[in-house]
Amino acid sequence: MTESKLTLDGQQVEFTPGETLYELASRHGKTIPTLCYDPRLEPFGGCRLCAVELEGTKAPVASCTMRATPGMVVRTDSQSLDKLRRTLLEMVASENRELEVDPLRGYASQQLKELVDRYGARTGRFKGRTSGKSHADDNPFILRDYDLCISCYRCVRVCAEQEGDYAISIMNRGFETRITTEFEGKLKDSQCTFCGQCVQTCPTGALADRKALANAKIPGETRKTRTTCAYCGVGCSLDVLSRGDRIVGVHPAMDGPANEGALCIKGQFAFDFVHHPDRLKSPLVRGEDGELHEASWDEALDRAARGLGQVIEEHGRHSVYCIASGRTPSEACYLMGKFVRAGLGTSYIDNCSRA
């Protein structure tokens, strides 16, 4: 046996230094269940659902935190692991108000329900005391429905590790455990930037996207369309959720190369401008009466060209200054630079992009 090999479900496999048993098993196509795990975050080892059998240890170990070492003999699947996972799920699900939540609540909101179904867990087996206390929070973006919270702390960890915000934290222990902000206040009075990452990682829908939920009554199947956020030049990938011709929500793309599941408040929640009645759908030019009127693109571009030409003729080429929109893609920015430098003869150009 070479240094970096172990036995996984009876097979010799090679691992890379630092790899956890969960990562190794996933790489080999094993489907180990997880609840507190989010691949973007430091492993936490809270839910124990990812337990695997490790030869030489009395009890199963959490595969998400256990690093692979040479010579280990690991089993990811057995009747007793199934029983353990089912019992853990029954404990979690027994104190959860409901498992059937609208998928519009968030990206990961169906995870607990899917696992309960997969393991045939009985949801009322350990009925009794419950933890979690929902928080009346009048912000327009995030519903804090902690009756559905299973204390996986993914929200707290994503807020700290991904967003660097530390807006939410854990208080108390046992049945009194609660996710809270400083002084138990409202999110809008905290450090929260409303990036929505806590919503999207929550595996029960306890944290939910209020703006998407407001569209829950729109009929039809929800379709996902992968695209790039149009708000700035960072280029975050996202999936637009639509029903018919209506956009009903946004999910961050967890595999987006620029954002790895992160979005800002605009990319996550400000999708409703698309259907807003005030949205400009055609160019406007000012008429003789001083008012703005709808015009064709040819008419508007002619007017802009005439205006720019006139100003340059009267006041010189450095009298004009151009700002490209932060929403412009690289190719359009390049064209704008050419137009301003080669066309208008000035280098007075800027872009309001954050990138």
> For binding to ligand SF4 (CB under 6 A), which residues are involved?
149-155, 158-159, 163, 165, 167-168, 179, 192-198, 201-202, 204, 206-207
- C-beta closer to ligand FES: residue 32 or 192: 32
- C-beta closer to ligand SF4: residue 43 or 344: 43
Closest separation in Å from C-beta 168 to ligand SF4: 5
Residue 159 binds what, of ligand FES, ligand SF4, none (CB under 5 to 8 Å, by partner type)?
A: ligand SF4
Q: List contacts with ligand FES (CB under 6 A).
A: 34-37, 45-50, 62, 64
Amino acid (one-letter) located at 38:
D
Closest separation in Å from C-beta 149 to ligand FES: 15
Question: How far, rounded to the nearest angstrom, does the alpha carbon of residue 346 sit from its chain's CA centroid?
Answer: 42
Number of Cβ within a 10 Å radius of residue 195: 24
Closest separation in Å from C-beta 33 to ligand FES: 8
Residue 104 binds what, of ligand FES, ligand SF4, none (CB under 5 to 8 Å, by partner type)?
A: none
- C-beta closer to ligand SF4: residue 60 or 205: 205
Residue 34 binds what, of ligand SF4, ligand FES, none (CB under 5 to 8 Å, by partner type)?
A: ligand FES
Number of Cβ within a 10 Å radius of residue 173: 10
Closest separation in Å from C-beta 44 to ligand SF4: 10
Sign of the four-CA dihedral 126, 131, 137, 140: negative
Closest separation in Å from C-beta 51 to ligand FES: 8
Closest separation in Å from C-beta 188 to ligand SF4: 10
Residue 212 binds what, of ligand SF4, ligand FES, none (CB under 5 to 8 Å, by partner type)?
A: none
Phi, psi of 65 (to 5 degrees): -110, -20
Closest separation in Å from C-beta 186 to ligand SF4: 11
Closest separation in Å from C-beta 15 to ligand SF4: 29
Amino acid (one-letter) located at 352:
C
Residue 236 binds what, of ligand FES, ligand SF4, none (CB under 5 to 8 Å, by partner type)?
A: none
What is the signed CA dihedral for 198, 199, 203, 208, rounded to 10 degrees?
A: 150
Length of the chain: 355
- C-beta closer to ligand SF4: residue 139 or 228: 139
- C-beta closer to ligand FES: residue 49 or 247: 49
Q: Can you tell me the distance from the alpha carbon of 331 to that of 336, in angstroms, rounded to the nearest whole number? A: 9
Residue 193 binds what, of ligand SF4, ligand FES, none (CB under 5 to 8 Å, by partner type)?
A: ligand SF4
Q: Can you tell me the distance from the alpha carbon of 329 to that of 229, in angstroms, rounded to the nearest whole number? A: 11
Is 200 within 8 Å of 252 (Cβ atoms)?
A: yes
Residue 46 binds what, of ligand SF4, ligand FES, none (CB under 5 to 8 Å, by partner type)?
A: ligand FES
Sign of the four-CA dihedral 28, 29, 32, 38: positive
- C-beta closer to ligand SF4: residue 205 or 233: 205
Task: Report the chain's C-alpha Rg in angstroms.
Answer: 27
- C-beta closer to ligand SF4: residue 158 or 344: 158
Distance (Å) of CA 224 to CA 134, 238, 241, 242, 266: 30, 9, 5, 7, 19
Is 262 within 8 Å of 254 (Cβ atoms)?
A: no
Number of Cβ within a 10 Å radius of residue 259: 21
Sign of the four-CA dihedral 105, 109, 114, 117: negative
Is 157 within 8 Å of 41 (Cβ atoms)?
A: yes
- C-beta closer to ligand FES: residue 162 or 259: 162
